Amino acid sequence: MLRLIKYGCVLAVLMVLLGSEIASPRAEAQFVRPVDVVPPDDDIGEGYKTPAVQRPLPREAWWNLVDVASLSAALVLSTWIVLGRRSRYWLVALTVACLAYFGFYRQGCVCPIGAIQNVTLSLADSTYVLPVVVIVFFLLPLVFALLFGRVFCGGVCPLGAIQDLVVLQPVDVPRRWDKRLGILKYVYLVVAIWYAAGALMGIEAPGGREFIICRFDPFVGFFRFTGSAGVLIFGGVLLVLGIFIGRPYCRYLCPYGALLAILSRFAWRGVSITPDKELDCGLCTEACPLGAIEKNRAVLSSCLFCARCFDWCPRDKTNRAQCQEGDVRARAETVES
């Protein structure tokens, strides 16, 4: 059943992506000055030359490069830290760095979550111009998801980061509820696409085109230290809730998370908790605040690359702290009993 809903959503997304392109050239009224009695330069005299006006050029291109490079580097680092280094410590460092740059410095824009709407709108309305940087932000994390899983969620996404830092007293969400709530994000994805396109399959979005993901982005208000009261409260509630329920927005609401979840299902080299020898001690399941470990194995579509499991894993401790294998066994047995 859940699967059906998920794939239905994917199908809908594909239909929009490959679907109609409505070309509507927009007629622009000309700006006409009332008169032309400007004194010419030679009338002003003394060799005066009218200076050029500073034209408001878009952000310099190298800034776009910085953004793209930061994103790429963060994705690569996140992959390496989680899959190679298996280090929670370094991942937290990366998380904080990305929160600082993509969150507070870039104030939550540009972000792949919102980019869903830009991409949709660009496909629905050919007059809408989609900046290349948005395309890259939209696609790169998807490619990483297909290769490694939800790398972006782990160390890169500022929305994930702010939630990840408040996970203090995680409690288990009953699996049934976890799954049911998880469907919300697919619904949100479809609704967001519906609104961004303005109309889906001939049905107009009530209230007209709207970037609802950005409008109801719960954390961007914190990055900007301003926002509408309702959304700020929503963000605050999510953060408080996030103390007990690990990353609620990522797991249940994030529409981009929905896309990533689908793709990471087919990840080529995903997180595996014990790649060579398996203790099956279950400490990892206990460590995971996201309910992403089932039967001592990571569920790739839910795993948010937070690396907590590695931090708890006695095997990794063996490597790093040179613990005696006996101690590990003993601990494992304690847990099992």
Residues that bind other proteins (CB under 8 A): 17, 28-39, 43-46, 48, 50-54, 56-61, 106-107, 109-110, 114, 117-119, 122, 126, 128-132, 135, 139, 142-143, 146-147, 211, 213-215, 224, 226-227, 263, 266-268
Nearer residue to other proteins within complex by CB, 56 or 202: 56
Q: CA 30, CA 84: separation in Å to the nearest integer? A: 59
Q: CA 84, CA 91: separation in Å to the nearest integer? A: 12
For residue 56, the minimal CB distance to other proteins (Å) is 5
Q: Kindly state the tokens that stand for 231.
A: 């959304």
88 with 149: CB under 8 angstroms?
Answer: no
Nearer residue to other proteins within complex by CB, 223 or 312: 223
For residue 39, the minimal CB distance to other proteins (Å) is 5
For residue 179, the minimal CB distance to other proteins (Å) is 22
314 with 328: CB under 8 angstroms?
Answer: yes
Nearer residue to other proteins within complex by CB, 135 or 181: 135
Largest CA distance in the chain: 97
150 with 257: CB under 8 angstroms?
Answer: yes
For residue 127, the minimal CB distance to other proteins (Å) is 8
Nearer residue to other proteins within complex by CB, 225 or 321: 225
Nearer residue to other proteins within complex by CB, 5 or 143: 143
For residue 182, the minimal CB distance to other proteins (Å) is 21
Q: CA 239, CA 252: separation in Å to the nearest integer? A: 14
151 with 305: CB under 8 angstroms?
Answer: yes
**Residue 239 neighbours by CB under 8 Å, 6+ apart:** 162, 163, 166, 219
